[in-house]
Structure 1
Amino acid sequence: MIKYIKSKLRLKIYSKFDLNAEYRQCVEDLITSPVVLSMQNFVQHSNLSCLEHCINVSYKSYILCKYLKFNYRFAARGGLLHDLFLYDWHTSKPANGLHAFTHPALALKNANMYFNLNDVEKDIIVKHMWPLTLKFPKYKESFVISFIDKYCAFTETCFRGTKNYIKDIGKIYT
């Protein structure tokens, strides 16, 4: 009887370790690639690298999509690649317009060069700046990434201690 009760409890409770293991499984091939790891070399917001920001967006989106019963794997992967533009936007200016408007297309171009993406992941990357980029997101996971990205950008910019908040997730990979 006690074994039965414990087994039922285990179904309802996810330990932090198990959740991280499942997340890692979703993004393992991406996060170990040199091109994704190179995002560590570019500052994104405040004292965070582009990689740390993308992990932050990816993991929070994974959690929310899992809760909402959306495709959390696609959200985790698209969230991790959404800012794969590979330059320091604080010092380099794109020739074809402002960074906020142009980097989603460049991130998608870069992601397509290195990874085999599905339609949801592509939509997440290219439309994560909606409504700045006028094209409406096609998938519910794209909306999640768009909103989580703005939330993370706000907290990362306003609260410099955010780096400590995600350091445990970042330690897994960096």
Structure 2
Amino acid sequence: MRLISFSDWNAFLTCLDGLLDEPQVQIMRSLPHHPGVNCYEHSVFVAYVAFRLARRWNLDYRSCARGGLLHDLYLYRWNDQSAHPGLQCFDHPEFALRNASELTDLSKLERNIILAHMWPLALHLPRSREAWTVSLADKLCATAEVMGVWKRLKMRAVLAA
């Protein structure tokens, strides 16, 4: 499976319904996430990987793309203890869901994707194959980012476009 193809990328962007241009989504560019990766880059990476997996597995790829993009829409610096009441890994899915719900209409499936993406650390269980797919994509992408594979894939250049 090639990482990026033009036709897949255009189909992926169509699924997002213009969400990439929303100011709330653009704010994620200023929020650090994993080493050398901002929240926007991570979220687009997760959304694209989830989209590709979902298409391969005949799942609702639109919901995987949208839920993947919005899964970390918490909009605060993760290490700012004044921004959230407890531990980031437990808190941020709730914040992301609240912000995503204010930004766009979410399906029940997309809501669970956002809430459950931190399972098994967070309390919400993935209730669909799509939610499991985004959770898996999140873990795969985070591992690639932390291990530096992200840089070798030149993903920043692709996502900056």
TM-score (norm: length of structure 1)? 0.85
In the TM superposition, what is the alpha-carbon distance from 1:95 to its structure 2 partner?
4.1
CA RMSD of aligned residues (A): 1.5
Specify the SS of the correspondent of 1:48: coil
Greater helix share, 1 or 2?
1
2:71 aligns with: 82
Q: Which of 1, 18, 22 in structure 2 is aligned with 1:29?
A: 18
**Which of structure 1's runs of 4+ aligned residues deviate more than 3 A?**
none
| Residues 7-43 of structure 1 deviation map (CA, whole Å, 9 limit, x = unaligned) | xxxxxxxx92111111111114211111101100001
> Relative to structure 1, is the Cα distance of residues 79 and 95 closer, same or farther in structure 2, using a 3 angstrom cutoff?
closer
Specify the SS of the correspondent of 1:116: coil
- Matches of residues 62-81 of structure 1 in structure 2 within 5 Å? 62-81=51-70
1:109 aligns with: 98
Q: 1:42, 1:146 → 2: CA distance?
A: 21
In the TM superposition, what is the alpha-carbon distance from 1:164 to its structure 2 partner?
5.2
- Matches of residues 6-155 of structure 1 in structure 2 within 5 Å? 16-90=5-79, 92-93=80-81, 94-155=83-144
Q: Percent identity?
A: 35
2:150 aligns with: 162
Q: 2:144, 2:104 → 1: CA distance?
A: 29
Code of the residue aligned with 1:71 in structure 2: it is D
In the TM superposition, what is the alpha-carbon distance from 1:97 to its structure 2 partner?
1.0
8 A contact 1:55–1:169 mirrored in 2: no
Specify the SS of the correspondent of 1:63: helix
From the CA coordinates, give the structure whose radius of gyration is larger.
1
Structure 2 residue runs of 5 or longer lacking an equivalent are none
TM-score (norm: length of structure 2)? 0.91
